Amino acid sequence: MEIHDFEKVWLVASLVLIAAFVGTIVYGAVGPGVAMVGDGGTVDATDPTASEDFRDPGVYVTDDGEYHVYVVARQFAFEPGSGEPIRVPAGAEVTFHVASADVTHGFQVVGTNVNTMVIPGQVAELAVEFDESGTEYVKCNEYCGAAHHAMEGKIEVVSESDVDAEEVREA
């Protein structure tokens, strides 16, 4: 059987296209630092502060210099974040542990790929590294009630010496 030259070109071109499509899917899944939200365990769905980790939400640092930020989301604020900003150091690994005290909220750091749902009873865990100092904003992006649109917080990325991290707490 004879295959016309043009036919061969189209065959090769379509195979290249298929490989390219698969390549873009693989890249999109693992390329630009995409990772699943970690399973940070469970807490009381109506009172995360009953759990040891969320008793006193805030910024903690371990002996190894790892930062852990425990945040409680409730209608319609992040604690910390909304009242006082969350202060974390530039260049260090920061793990956010976010729990809801009422309904499903969102926790998105605007302009980054840090973005998770905060489901009552379930702790969302996300590790981030902020390279540069500056201010980042946190938005709730799950409709959570009448003042959902006003539910926001602030993260100040500062130098390590300006971080007021509380006592060492192992993750």
Chain contacts with ligand CUA (rule: CB under 6 A): 76, 105, 140, 142-144, 148, 151
Q: Which is nearer to ligand CUA, 65 or 145 (CB)?
A: 145
Q: In the complex, what is the shortest distance from the CB of residue 148 to ligand CUA, in angstroms, rounded to a whole number?
A: 3
CB of 110 to ligand CUA, least distance (A): 14
Q: What totals of helices (H) and strands (E) does the chain contain, helices first?
A: 1, 11
φ, ψ at 78 (rounded to 5°): -105, 135
Least Cβ distance, residue 124 to ligand CUA (angstroms): 13
Nearer to ligand CUA, 47 or 162 (CB): 47
Considering beta carbons, is residue 8 or 149 the nearer one to ligand CUA?
A: 149
Longest dimension (CA), the chain: 78
Q: Which is nearer to ligand CUA, 126 or 151 (CB)?
A: 151
Please state, in angstroms and rounded to a whole number, the distance separating the CA atoms of residues 84 and 50.
22
Distance CA 169, CA 52 (A): 11
Q: Which contiguous run of DSSP H or E holds residue 126?
A: strand 122-129
Instruction: Give the containing element (helix H, strand E) for 18.
Output: helix 5-30
Helix (H) or strand (E) holding 26: helix 5-30
- As measured in angstroms, the least distance from the Cβ of 86 to ligand CUA is 16
Shortest distance (Å) from residue 134 CB to ligand CUA = 24
CB of 43 or CB of 61, closer to ligand CUA: 43
